[in-house]
Amino acid sequence: MKLAIRAALALLVLFLAACATHAPRPDSNPPLILVSIDGFRADYFERGLSPNLKAIADAGVHAAAMRPAFPTLTFPNHYTLVTGLYPDHHGIVNNTMVDPVLGNFTYKKSSELSARWWEGAEPLWVTADKQGVRTATMFWPGSDVEIRGHRPDYYLPFNGKMTAGQRIDQVLAWLDQPAAKRPRFLTLYFEQLDHESHDHGPGSTEADAALREVDASIGHLVAELEKRDLYKNANLVIVSDHGMAETDAERTVILDSIVDLRHIDLVTSGIAVGINPKPGYEAEVERAMLAPRGHMQCWRKGELPARLHYGTHPRIPALVCVPESGWLIETQEFHSRPNHRMHGGEHGYDNDDPHMRALFLAHGPAFKRGLSVPEFDNVDVYPLLAHLLDIRPEPNDGNPATMREMLQ
């Protein structure tokens, strides 16, 4: 009898071991949700207006700050986050660009953006698709065009009228699909905080209200994930693309007082200023723009500080100028427009500027709990995301060592 009992117990142990090996676990192949809160400056977190984000940080990983890539603009940094490449390497070098073959690019005309602008690098959803991982993007620069023959499995063209709640509901609807159709990598994007900080300034009551609003949206997302038993079984990474600095129209460098505007093509103005001298005027324009002067600095494209990782791509203009934090570089005509904003906020400055620092939070089964980590560069996010999806990353500028401290 004892031998029979022992044999039965042995068979039971083997059966349980087989079940443990082959039965699906709640956290096997967990979904990864990448959330971007456009313009969330790292120190906004300390205002006490984002209790839902604080709860995520307390239960997961929170970086002191994340250093964006230069220029500290929306399109370049969103593409850096999903390629692990500096803008100089992935080709989205500004929100506004000129390409000798493709012509003009502006972020405000997303419906006109040719895929060829984006094909200098392979974003994560393309790499994932090639390796059999289903993807869904609720707005992300580049995600609504076909890149290298691939699109996300599910995506929507950008629509600023779509509310935060509607965006979250769509992400949840994608997650609610049967396993065979369910995406494992999803993105979610909120821009209202950036808009209010631009229009009214990062210290305004309007920016604070937008901060509360986006935090409430994160709370709604978490609550819905909890209903689905997904909050503890999904990896959630929350980032921003850049910070924001307070500006004033009185703090403006007027280009007309420096250079003859008839002798230049002004590719971009405001913050990360790009200038191409017209033929025959190169020496004159360089003398004027490269001369030392207050509140701004200019470089030839190949002579920017190495720490900026910027200045080799053909789309970068011949001269790049960056104002002092809180200052602008504009033409007199633009500065004098009746609707020109007198006060507000801007980004695009040197990425060493503390006002440009971005947010990084992470929570889920892959991450340690209650961990604070030092500041790191946003190119390091890409190796982390690829690791969480268990896919082979494309060559990138990120440092995989950054994620090791964060993970279980």
271: CATH? 3.30.1360.180
Q: Hey, which bits of 278-338 come out as E strands?
A: 296-300, 319-323, 328-330
* Residue 343: predicted pLDDT: 78
Tens digit of each residue's pLDDT (9 = 90 or more) over 296-333: 999 999 999 999 999 999 999 999 999 999 999 999 99
The percent of residues above 70 in pLDDT, for the chain, comes to 91
| End-of-domain residue from the set 315, 340, 365 | 340
| End-of-domain residue from the set 293, 318, 340 | 340
- Tell me how far apart the alpha carbons of residues 221 and 203 are, in angstroms, rounded to a whole number: 26
Reported as type and span, the H/E element at residue 95 is none
- Tell me how far apart the alpha carbons of residues 208 and 202 are, in angstroms, rounded to a whole number: 8
Residue 402 CB partners (closer than 8 Å, separation 6+): 376, 377, 380, 383, 384
* Residue 28: predicted pLDDT: 65
- Tell me how far apart the alpha carbons of residues 202 and 252 are, in angstroms, rounded to a whole number: 18
Question: What is the domain extent for residue 90?
Answer: 32-246+352-404
Label the pairing between strands 103-106 and 135-138.
unpaired
The stretch 384-399 carries a mean pLDDT of: 98
* Residue 21: predicted pLDDT: 33
**Entry pTM:** 0.91
Tens digit of each residue's pLDDT (9 = 90 or more) over 232-270: 999 999 999 999 999 999 999 999 999 999 999 999 999
For 327, half-sphere exposure in the C-beta direction (CA atoms, 13 angstrom radius) is: 17
Identify whether residues 197 and 285 lie together within a single domain. no
Identify whether residues 48 and 129 lie together within a single domain. yes
> What are the two backbone dihedrals, phi and then psi, of residue 187, each rounded to the nearest 5 degrees?
-120, 155
Mean pLDDT score of the chain, rounded to an integer?
A: 92
Look at the block and give the residue holding tokens 């970086």. Answer: 63
| End-of-domain residue from the set 310, 340, 370 | 340
Residue 76 lies in a domain: yes
Identify whether residues 259 and 310 lie together within a single domain. yes
* Residue 9: predicted pLDDT: 45
Tens digit of each residue's pLDDT (9 = 90 or more) over 349-361: 999 999 999 999 9
Three-state DSSP class for residue 315: coil
The stretch 124-141 carries a mean pLDDT of: 97
Identify whether residues 366 and 328 lie together within a single domain. no
Look at the block and give the residue holding tokens 């030392």. Answer: 292
Identify whether residues 179 and 222 lie together within a single domain. yes
Identify whether residues 150 and 278 lie together within a single domain. no
Inform me whether the pLDDT recorded for 24 exceeds 90: no
Q: Are 295 and 248 in contact (CB under 8 A)?
A: no
**Of residues 183, 282, 278, the one with CA closest to residue 234:** 183
Q: What are the catalytic residues? A: 74
Identify whether residues 234 and 361 lie together within a single domain. yes
Q: How many domains does the chain have?
A: 2
- Tell me how far apart the alpha carbons of residues 127 and 150 are, in angstroms, rounded to a whole number: 9
Identify whether residues 66 and 127 lie together within a single domain. yes
Tens digit of each residue's pLDDT (9 = 90 or more) over 31-80: 999 999 999 999 999 999 999 999 999 999 999 999 999 999 999 999 99
